[in-house]
């Protein structure tokens, strides 16, 4: 599984967009980019994932660069409840031997 | 998604004892996993719970210490055996829903375990 690099911490003002970067320069062609977050005292929550194309759901948008070496998770209107540790994980599908390997993630603090 | 329930949610145990953690899902799932999160750390995969066969353990984890059962498609248990203070962690169950190979995993809220 490819290694990812994320900033250890970020701040964001409530109501503004939060843009969380992730570098994965060694990603292989069939590895997916997954984003999870962990709010204090809870289990990780799945946010979004993608292979090549940009993806959007009710929680967030995922922008993957054309060379797939980096991606950005966008929370369009951050709220205080979005304060959490955000994990970017690159992995194969499970049936291809993929596993979720959690790094240290980015601790996002949304401030009033 | 799915509703994933873990029991107990927390416990305080004496060293040398064993504790079995249960993970129940409200629908049939293809894969079930067990993770450990040590204090202040990220999650580490312990093993994949295979239905009807022995679990697949990651490097550094062994069956004698963390026996796992998965009798059906909605339930699994993890036992932490002969506990020591170093086993104080949050233990989390996750599941992969049916529907293709790139389904995301969904996590329970974990079992907070403290060993005295």
B11-22 pLDDT, tens digit per residue, is 999 999 999 999
Q: Which of A70-79, B23-32, B96-105 has the highest mean pLDDT?
A: A70-79
Q: Give the single-character DSSP code of A8.
A: S
Q: Which whole number is the average pLDDT over A79-101?
A: 90
Q: In terms of CA atoms, which chain A residue is nearest residue B31? A: A94
What pLDDT score was predicted for residue A41?
84
The pLDDT tens digits for B42-76 are 999 999 998 888 899 999 999 999 999 999 999 99
More confident residue, B98 or A89: A89
A35 touches chain B (CB under 8 A): no
When scoring B57, B107, B111 by the number of chain A Cβ atoms within 10 A, the one with the most, hence best to mutate, is B107
When scoring B59, B104, B106, B110 by the number of chain A Cβ atoms within 10 A, the one with the most, hence best to mutate, is B104
What pLDDT score was predicted for residue A98?
83
Indicate the residue of A49, A96, A102 with minimum beta-carbon distance to B104: A49
Predicted confidence band of residue B101 (pLDDT cuts 50, 70, 90):
low
Poorest-confidence range of A7-16, A29-38, A68-77, B98-107?
B98-107
Enter the tokens of residue A11: 């701040």
Indicate the residue of A44, A95, A104 with minimum beta-carbon distance to B107: A44
More confident residue, B101 or B46: B46
When scoring A8, A29, A44, A97 by the number of chain B Cβ atoms within 10 A, the one with the most, hence best to mutate, is A44
Q: Is B42 exposed, middle or buried (0-12, 13-18, 19+ CB in 10 A)?
A: middle
More confident residue, B3 or A1: B3
Query: Which of B24, B10, B15, B25 is closest to B87 using CA atoms?
Result: B15
Give the torsion sign (CA, A73, A79, A81, A84).
Answer: positive
Mean pLDDT, chain A, rounded, equals 94
Indicate the residue of B101, B102, B105 with minimum beta-carbon distance to A100: B105
Mean pLDDT, chain B, rounded, equals 93
Indicate if the pLDDT at residue A104 is higher than 80.
yes
A5 touches chain B (CB under 8 A): no
What pLDDT score was predicted for residue A93?
80
HSE-CB for A76 with a 13 A CA cutoff:
8
Q: Which whole number is the average pLDDT over B30-41?
A: 94
A100 touches chain B (CB under 8 A): yes
Indicate if the pLDDT at residue A2 is higher than 70.
no
Q: Does A94 sit within 8 Å of B96, measured CB to CB?
A: yes
Indicate if the pLDDT at residue A12 is higher than 90.
yes
């Amino acid at each position: 599984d490819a290694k990812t690099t994320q900033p250890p911490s970020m701040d964001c003002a409530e109501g503004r967009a939060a843009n969380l970067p992730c570098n994965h320069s060694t990603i292989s062609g069939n590895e997916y980019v997954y984003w999870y977050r962990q709010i204090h005292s809870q289990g990780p929550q799945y946010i979004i994932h993608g292979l090549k194309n940009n993806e959007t759901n009710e929680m967030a948008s995922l922008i993957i660069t054309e060379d797939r070496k980096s991606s950005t998770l966008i929370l369009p209107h951050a709220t205080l409840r979005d304060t959490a540790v955000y994990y970017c994980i690159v992995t194969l599908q499970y049936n291809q031997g993929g596993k979720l390997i959690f790094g240290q993630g980015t601790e996002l603090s949304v401030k009033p | 998604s799915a509703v994933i329930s873990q029991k107990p949610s927390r416990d305080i145990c004496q060293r040398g004892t064993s504790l079995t953690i249960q993970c129940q899902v409200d629908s049939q799932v293809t894969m079930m996993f067990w993770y450990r999160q040590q204090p202040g750390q990220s999650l580490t995969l312990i093993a994949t719970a295979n239905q009807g066969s022995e679990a697949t353990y990651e490097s550094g984890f062994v069956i004698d210490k963390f026996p796992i059962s998965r009798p059906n498609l909605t339930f699994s248990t993890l036992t932490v055996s002969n506990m020591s203070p170093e086993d104080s962690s949050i233990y989390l169950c996750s599941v992969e829903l049916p529907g293709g190979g790139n389904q995301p995993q969904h996590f329970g809220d974990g079992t907070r375990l403290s060993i005295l």
